[in-house]
Chain A
Amino acid sequence: MRVVVVGAGPAGMAAARTAADAGAEVTMVDSEPDAGGQYLRGRARFEHSGVTHLKNVEAWLVEGDTLHLRGPRQLRFDALVIATGAYDRPLPFPGWDGPGVITAGAAQALAKQGVTLGERVIVSGTGPFLLPVATALQDLGATIVGVYEANSPARWLREPRAVLANRHKISELASYRKVLSRLETRTAVIAKHGSRVTVAKLDRHWRPVSHRTEHADLVCIGHGFLPRTDLVPNAKRTNDFLDVDERQQTSVEGVYAAGEVTGIGGADLAEAEGVVAGAAAAGLEPPAEVLDAVRRGRLFARALARAHAIQPGWRTWLSPDTTVCRCEKVSLEDLADATGMRELKLTSRVAMGRCQGRICARNASDLTGVPFDGQRRVIAVPIPLGELAELPEEES
């Protein structure tokens, strides 16, 4: 049984370990030099005699039972586990494309390497992820001007089941106490010009009701996450995230998914999903207590998605000349009415550039009301033409 796991974060590592323990021949592929993923960057050690860990290599196509990697190199599999995680979704506002604005994920990745890009820092967006980012930057000596959460914590009062089932999450808050005093809710950065940052109080739809000016040289934004699902463009999904059954199998037979690709629920849930996916991929029945943990975690993940959902009022933050797509320099006023993403792309060129729409496509869809098509591409990441040319001929 050959199991290939893409991604070496909490979900990927758990899947690889579990599948190898079950006797499968496991290869874990990851684009980073070390295991751990974004969450455990620099803090994880992965060693398992039954797992071949391919580092620093990107996967770019699933073709039948073959995974294509940069190099070029191919891996045959009987089961595939997608544990590729998610990336930040930044919402545009005037000045978001200028210097001094980065995603919260990028800020955290740099912080884990001991780097902060600013001294006076604002973290703005929605979701519990903002707190660890602010804490990490403060630990590096940055002054936290504010941590702005666009939603209201009162939303969590509607989720008693999820909170009770995941009580340990509340204790995590204590570790962020140093920045909790800087936390303001129903608040967001809605413009930045040089070091002058416009901070607005929002209504529940995220429409600004008042604003003030703060000074900061770094604004870190994170308005939730989008899953990295490019390798399985045809798998079914709900709200951008991959649909999986109770054994973590996607709608494509033999392709499993674990971790943030199925929904944002934190490292514990990702790891539990990894165990389930790894067991199922290796042909075993997943342990009942882990299936239970997944069910519990999902309650929390769904509550999180509801409590920190993006509200439509953000669309009022933009002015007509605000850039939506940075690669192709498409601003809000360039986005025409369209019936689908293809038309929108062809008439405005939004999402046609180097980032392949990862940053802008979802936002362009929300701004125009055009249904999002999930960016379905044959080849998941830009690869050199030379590697395509080197691929072995088809066996026939």
Chain B
Amino acid sequence: MTSPAQPPGAHLPEHPDFLWDNPEPKASYDVVVVGGGGHGLATAYYLAKVHGITNVAVLEKGWLAGGNMARNTTIIRSNYLWDESSGIYEHSLKLWEGLEEDLGYPILFDQRGVLNLAHSLQDVRDSVRRVNANRLNGIDAEWVDPAGVKEICPIVNISPDVRYPVLGATYQPRAGIAKHDYVAWGYARAAHAMGVDLIQNCEVTGLETSGGRITAVQTSRGRIAAGKVALCAAGHSSVLAKMAGIRLPLASHPLQALVSELLEPVHPTVVMSNAVHVYVSQAHKGELVMGAGIDSYNGYGQRGSFHIIEQQMSAALELFPVFARAHLLRTWAGIVDVSPDASPIVGLTPVGGLYLNCGWGTGGFKATPGVGDCFAHTIAHDKPHPFNEPFTLERFTTGALVDEHGAAAVAH
């Protein structure tokens, strides 16, 4: 038990080395989760915790949480337009709100609020519509005018004489950021404690099926028999699904981000702008974290083009002139896997016992607890959870799309 005087996890060693071990893979598991990022770890955690399924392996070709989990800009919010999306993201946000206690591990979840700026009359109409839709779904959402934006985040330039003037913003006070590494380590530690095997440096090279059902995975560390296989490999899911003869409608793009040198606290919230492809927050340690728009070409390389960063910066500094003299320290890219309607694919596949979780685009980090919970439910019951029921693979043939291009906040 954690005493009230101590924050969660205060008694834990600081280094992740001591939070889990590196077991040899066993010959078989009830469930094999492919991908040791946030989604894979969360799925394994909820499988063990909620459904009592602990004979589980998480296979990771590199190291835990070294992909997009290490590369995102850690923004958490649930103010998506459609009922389907706000359903799963709000479910996730509610889990975020109790996650530190649940995992017994500090994740630095900070509900500092998120502003989504509107720069045109069309933006304003779309934003107000989204605020109303959010409220009908019980999500905290407000429309704030430029003066309100200035009050929430004083360093935003609300002058009308700029290329993308701020005409207002939607504001979700419960939204915020968390420390991405800690989230992964918290899930990994808790899953490990319940008996889940976390197997790093283990790349899946083939999927075995028999009679339309998954039977095993072939890996760089040998064959592992599996009752069920759950794919949590983001953009690489299409490569994996192909091994079972399934073609996924996913396109993978580099999405860049950068951090500045450390600064005193100057930016109290998170500011996102769809029109100018930028989102900015200040991490707990003090560095500015900025995300850019996606590079339009497809690829799995974790680096993007320089001109994207350059264009993003000219837009960002119009909004935040105060950042002009902050030095850029690092740039990097993650890979966003985008589906045709900018909504994820979570659910069953034509192959029995093979489950799919991918296509999260820019929404993956914020969805981590929610999708972990729902995907674990889907795997345990061989039936989608109500929150991920709309996100089938079939929707791309039936036409029941969930078009979230607007609220995804970064153009896909």
Contacts and interface: CB of A to CB of B under 8 A. Distances in A.
A and B: real partners?
yes
Interface of A: 61, 63, 334, 336-339, 342-343, 346-347, 352-354, 356, 377-379, 382-386, 388-391, 393-394
B327 A384 contact: yes
Contacts of A389: 310, 313-314, 316-318, 324
B324 A61 contact: no
Interface string B64-76: 0010001000000
Interface of B: 15-17, 62-63, 66, 70, 181, 201, 260-261, 303, 306-307, 309-311, 313-314, 316-318, 323-331
Contact of B62 (A339, A352, A377): A339
B66 A384 contact: no
B330 A385 contact: no
Contacts of B331: 377-379
Given A339-B62, A339-B63, A343-B66, A394 B326 contact: no
Most chain A CB inside 10 Å of its own CB: which residue of B316, B324, B325, B331:
B324
B260 A336 contact: no
B306 A384 contact: no
Nearest to A72: B310
A385 B307 contact: no
A343 B327 CA distance: 24
A34 B305 CA distance: 34
A388 B310 contact: yes
B63 A347 contact: yes
Contacts of B311: 393
Given A342-B66, A385-B328, 7 more contacts: A336-B16, A346-B66, A378-B303, A382-B261, A386-B325, A388-B310, A389-B314
A356 B330 contact: yes
Most chain A CB inside 10 Å of its own CB: which residue of B261, B309, B310, B326:
B310
18 contacts: A336-B16, A339-B201, A342-B66, A343-B66, A346-B181, A352-B329, A353-B329, A354-B261, A356-B330, A382-B328, A383-B328, A384-B328, A385-B316, A385-B325, A386-B323, A386-B324, A388-B314, A389-B318
Contacts of B326: 384-385
Given A346-B181, A391-B310, A386 B63 contact: no
A352 B327 CA distance: 14
A388 to B, nearest CB: 4
B314 to A, nearest CB: 4
B203 to A, nearest CB: 12
A383 B327 CA distance: 5
Nearest to A393: B311
A382 B70 CA distance: 21
Contacts of B17: 336-337
A334 B15 contact: yes
Contact of A394 (B63, B307, B324): B307
A334 B14 CA distance: 9
Top 3 nearest A-B pairs (CB, nearest first) are A386-B324, A388-B313, A382-B327
A106 B256 CA distance: 36
A356 B306 contact: no
Nearest to A344: B63
Contact of B328 (A337, A347, A388): A388
